[in-house]
């Protein structure tokens, strides 16, 4: 995937001066731990009880440090505290709770600042290495997949589960998902299918695979590297060979056939025609998702395969902005994360009722002062 993009905005330019970053906080006080190790930098996501879910406080610590380090360090490592997760996603619960009370600015601000950070990572000038050990979903994907090196372990668990909450694969999902092999990206986006361990590498999400009990040793070796060739050699030395087949190999032909259709409706027709147990299970899975999310995601990835990361994030911010105004996102988070009744009432409730006007509204411009890019 091409990485060199530049994302700028009025907000992005002011990040370093707006937010006062305290770097000597103890681990029990800070949701992000910043470590300076000679000419290297380490960032630790430090909310292990919340599976290191990303919130605005964390974004506002990470971004200015990355900006500063880009010209001062030779390498950055990003990892999660605890053994369960790198980062299980963004803190959409607080976003939706505020929106339900009538304050959509909380979500607008969070998505904007999160996406600006994703864009910085995608354009980072020095080696950016993410240890994606444990759960890596949603916002955690945005903090890792656009970096040059992504180290998975046998404990890695990747997914983009946004369909379940009436959202869409964001944090640059429209950029990296269409660039996976065949129609794998669209399949992962629409179904939220989970990839584990070596599959994260085989799918192209990770660049290397390392045993989890070797990560500390790997980190120490990386912090002693003197140039990028040393980094590459070190990563290769720690990479664990895995000769097993990709877990989706047996159905990849079906995925490519069914998910190469020109619409969600046609995908379902092809799945019904296929008639296999896999196809039946996939139909059941898709039937639980927000019909609106399915359709905007289909278009999002279709457009994203022709855009650079900067333009993908711009498109995604518009989608997020409009999702805050659409019932499905609020309802999906309510059903899954707030009331936890697992029974969302989608509106519209069927694919046939999701009109072209609804889809186009999600992709429409937002007020100029809200746009992600600087349009000076």
Instruction: Please list the active-site residues.
Output: 90, 139, 162, 170
Q: List the Cα angle 279/283/289 in 5-degree steps.
A: 145
The Cβ-side half-sphere exposure at 294, using a 13 Å CA radius, reads: 28
How many Cβ atoms sit within 10 Å of the Cβ of residue 132? 30
CB neighbour burial string for 10-23, b if at least 16 within 10 angstroms, e if fewer: eebeebeeeeebee
Q: Report phi then psi at 249, rounded to 5.
A: -55, -40
β-bridge pairing 32-37 and 40-45 = antiparallel
Residues 220, 238 contacting (CB under 8 angstroms): no
The CA distance from 162 to 333, in Å, is 10
Tokens of 274: 């296929």
β-bridge pairing 85-87 and 128-132 = unpaired
């Amino acid at each position: 995937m091409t990485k060199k993009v530049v994302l700028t905005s009025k907000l992005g330019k002011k990040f370093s001066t707006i937010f006062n970053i305290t770097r000597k906080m103890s681990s029990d006080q800070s949701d992000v731990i910043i470590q300076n190790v000679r000419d290297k930098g380490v960032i630790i996501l430090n909310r292990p009880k919340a599976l290191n879910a990303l919130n605005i406080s964390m974004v506002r610590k990470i971004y200015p440090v990355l900006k500063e380090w880009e010209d001062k360090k030779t390498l950055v490592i990003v990892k999660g505290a605890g053994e369960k997760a790198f980062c299980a996603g963004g803190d959409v619960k607080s976003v939706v709770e505020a929106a339900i009370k009538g304050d959509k600015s909380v979500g607008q601000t969070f998505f904007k600042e999160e996406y600006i950070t994703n864009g910085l990572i995608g354009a980072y000038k020095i080696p950016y290495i993410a240890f994606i050990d444990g759960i890596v979903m949603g916002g955690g994907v945005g903090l890792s997949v656009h970096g040059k090196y992504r180290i998975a372990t046998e404990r890695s668990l990747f997914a983009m589960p946004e369909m379940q909450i009436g959202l869409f694969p964001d944090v640059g999902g429209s950029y990296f998902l269409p660039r996976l092999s065949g129609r794998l990206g669209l399949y992962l986006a629409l179904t939220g299918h989970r990839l584990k361990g070596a599959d994260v590498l085989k799918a192209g999400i990770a660049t290397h695979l390392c045993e989890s009990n070797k990560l500390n040793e790997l980190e120490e070796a990386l912090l002693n590297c003197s140039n990028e060739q040393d980094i590459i050699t070190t990563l290769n030395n720690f990479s664990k060979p895995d000769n097993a087949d990709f877990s989706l190999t047996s159905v990849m032909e079906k995925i490519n056939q069914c998910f190469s259709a020109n619409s969600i409706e046609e995908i379902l027709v092809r799945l019904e025609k296929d008639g296999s147990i896999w196809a039946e299970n996939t139909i059941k899975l898709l039937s639980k998702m927000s019909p609106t999310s399915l359709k905007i995601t289909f278009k999002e990835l279709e457009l994203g395969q022709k855009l650079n990361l900067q333009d993908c994030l711009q498109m995604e911010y518009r989608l997020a902005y409009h999702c805050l105004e659409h019932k499905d996102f609020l309802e999906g988070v309510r059903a899954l994360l707030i009331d936890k009744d697992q029974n969302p009432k989608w509106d519209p409730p069927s694919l046939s009722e999701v009109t072209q006007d609804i889809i186009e509204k999600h992709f429409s411009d937002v007020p100029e002062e809200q746009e992600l890019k600087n349009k000076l």
